[in-house]
Amino acid sequence: MAADEPLVLGIETSCDETGVGIVHGTTLLADAVASSVDTHARFGGVVPEIASRAHLEAMVPTIERALKQAGVSARDLDGIAVTAGPGLAGALLVGVSAAKAYAYALGKPLYGVNHLASHICVDQLEHGRLPEPTMALLVSGGHSSLLLSSDITSDVRPMGATIDDAAGEAFDKIARVLDLGFPGGPVIDRLAKEGDPAAIAFPRGLTGAKDPAYDFSFSGLKTAVARWIEARRNAGEEVPVRDVAASFQEAVVDVLTRKAVRACKDEGVDHLMIGGGVAANSRLRALAEERCERAGIRLRVPRPGLCTDNGAMVAALGAEMVARGRAASDLELSADSSLPVTESHVPGAHAHAHDHDHVHEVSKENLYS
Ligand code: KG4
Ligand code: ZN
């Protein structure tokens, strides 16, 4: 760990996790997360208003916990990074407002960064610098994309994405049909271990010869699984939950890994990174490992705790922004619920790289814009 590497605090509030991480270059110093997932469980999905309120309550204690965990003082930070988007508008706003307040009060540069690029960059904390280029498969409750990046701070190119449901969303919906609770991924993963993945031949979306090579579709699969379960129930037969879970999961991870490996081969990229909440899936990890090895591709998957939403990933990307001298955001930074994946960060209109003083020029009113 070089002494001159940037010390950055990252704030993540795009969904239901209030995450605050602190990194020193590519070294993780603290990763504090407060989740409101239990509060949403009885609704079967994330309720935006509840998430925003929970972020507000958790924000300051989580920041303090992270600073304590890292054993650093806020004064020592080289920058404050925050998820500027994409995500739930109200939830993002809480993080962005907090980051502005800290940046202003401490006189530190602010970096509004992209949630998806952060999901990729987090792997630096576990496996060292990202190879360039890297292919990334991002699979979570809100997104499923194949991205090609030659520089995570400035060049992320979308190769493909889901045309309907996100992969994690499909897990959550099938878990609901099976009365397994929310979120569905972890419980389906667990049950699938005791089921037969070949028991039921569920459809593989968008894998026909004329289909787009790198796009995904999970809504047809979701409907097929729901119909299959309904037919069993209507016939008064017991639903083999473990086999359904295993067969459904196999259909998802088969398509994800097949397309990711194909994209790597087509583009001549020999590193595949998998991130997002669904990357915690044990079968996805195993099948990706198997297929990458066969294709001569090096696979990088962060540990499950870094795959789901967290603040460390935002800090990791923020540190990379500082290290590469990217322009800071100004205090007019606003949350953008549909921030395009191609925008790794949101530089300020008048910001200059390494200009740490610009934050002092902004009037207090802008903190709340
Ligand atoms: O990245 P994440 O924490 O939040 C979003 O940005 O969406 O991902 C949450 C999603 C949920 O849909 C959850 O069901 C799924 O990731 N997930 C899993 C597993 N653990 C979490 N899906 C499949 N297998 C798992 N083990
Ligand atoms: Zn996410």
Q: Which residues make Cβ contacts (< 8 Å) with residue 23, sequence separation at least 6?
A: 7, 8, 10, 29, 125, 312, 315, 316, 318, 319
Map tokens 């990046």 to a residue. Answer: 149
CA 175 to ligand 1: nearest atom: 14
pLDDT at 41: 79
Q: What is the pLDDT of residues 69-113, one digit of tens each?
A: 999 999 999 999 999 999 999 999 999 999 999 999 999 999 999
What's the predicted TM-score (pTM) here? 0.91
pLDDT at 50: 85
Please check the confidence at residue 359 and state whether its pLDDT lies above 70. no
Q: What is the pLDDT of residues 318-337, one digit of tens each?
A: 999 999 999 999 999 999 99
Q: Check pocket membership of 275 for ligand 1, CB cut-off 6 A.
A: no
Q: What is the pLDDT of residues 206-224, one digit of tens each?
A: 999 999 999 999 999 999 9
Name which of 108, 109, 131, 112 is nearest 120 in CA terms.
131
Phi/psi of residue 140, nearest 5 degrees = -150, -165
Q: Check pocket membership of 21 for ligand 1, CB cut-off 6 A.
A: no
Tell me what the mean pLDDT of segment 194-216 comes to: 97
Ligand 1: residue whose CA is nearest its atom 19: 185
CA 304 to ligand 1: nearest atom: 20
pLDDT at 350: 63
d(C-alpha 204, C-alpha 340), whole Å:
27
Q: Check pocket membership of 308 for ligand 1, CB cut-off 6 A.
A: yes
Q: Calculate how far, in angstroms, residue 278's C-alpha sits from the geometric centre of ligand 2.
A: 10
pLDDT at 349: 78
d(C-alpha 169, C-alpha 245), whole Å:
14
Please check the confidence at residue 12 and state whether its pLDDT lies above 50. yes
Please check the confidence at residue 354 and state whether its pLDDT lies above 50. no
**Burial of 246: CB neighbours in 10 Å, binned 0-12, 13-18, 19+:** buried
Domain boundaries of the chain, sorted by first residue? 7-122+310-367, 131-303
Element (H, E) at 144: strand 144-151
**Domains 7-122+310-367 and 131-303 alike in fold:** yes
Peptide bond into 186 cis (omega under 30): no
Please check the confidence at residue 34 and state whether its pLDDT lies above 80. yes
**Confidence band of 39 (pLDDT split at 50, 70, 90):** confident
CA 190 to ligand 1: nearest atom: 26
Q: Check pocket membership of 172 for ligand 1, CB cut-off 6 A.
A: yes
**Confidence band of 182 (pLDDT split at 50, 70, 90):** confident
Architecture of domain 7-122+310-367: 2-Layer Sandwich (3.30)
Q: What is the pLDDT of residues 227-279, one digit of tens each?
A: 999 999 999 999 999 999 999 999 999 999 999 999 999 999 999 999 999 99
Q: Check pocket membership of 185 for ligand 1, CB cut-off 6 A.
A: yes
The secondary structure of 147-184 as a DSSP string is EEEEETTTEEEEEEEBSSS-HHHHHHHHHHHTT--SSH
**Confidence band of 360 (pLDDT split at 50, 70, 90):** very low
Most ligand 1 atoms within 8 A of CB, residue of 18, 118, 140 to mutate: 140
**Confidence band of 362 (pLDDT split at 50, 70, 90):** very low
The secondary structure of 312-330 as a DSSP string is HHHHHHHHHHHHTTPBPB-
Q: What is the pLDDT of residues 139-178, one digit of tens each?
A: 998 889 999 999 999 999 999 999 999 999 999 999 999 9
Q: Check pocket membership of 116 for ligand 1, CB cut-off 6 A.
A: no
**Confidence band of 16 (pLDDT split at 50, 70, 90):** confident
**Confidence band of 2 (pLDDT split at 50, 70, 90):** low
Q: Calculate how far, in angstroms, residue 202's C-alpha sits from the geometric centre of ligand 2.
A: 27
Name the more confident of 41 and 187.
187
Q: Check pocket membership of 277 for ligand 1, CB cut-off 6 A.
A: yes
Name the more confident of 234 and 36.
234
Name which of 252, 246, 140, 157 is nearest 207 in CA terms.
252
pLDDT at 367: 39
Q: What is the pLDDT of residues 283-298, one digit of tens each?
A: 999 999 999 999 999 9
CA 307 to ligand 1: nearest atom: 1
Alpha helix (H) ranges present in 71-145?
A: 89-106, 115-121, 124-127
Q: Which ligand is nearest to the CA of 256?
A: 1
Q: Count Cβ atoms below 10 Å from residue 337 Cβ, excluding itself.
A: 15
- Kindly give the pairing relationship between strand 17-24 and strand 7-12: antiparallel
**Burial of 210: CB neighbours in 10 Å, binned 0-12, 13-18, 19+:** exposed
Contact 110, 80 (CB under 8 A): yes
- Please report, for residues 10, 93, 163, 236, the alpha-carbon distance to residue 143 in angstroms, rounded to integers and kept in the order given: 21, 20, 10, 36
Q: Calculate how far, in angstroms, residue 166's C-alpha sits from the geometric centre of ligand 1.
A: 10
Q: Check pocket membership of 309 for ligand 1, CB cut-off 6 A.
A: yes
CATH class of 131-303: alpha beta
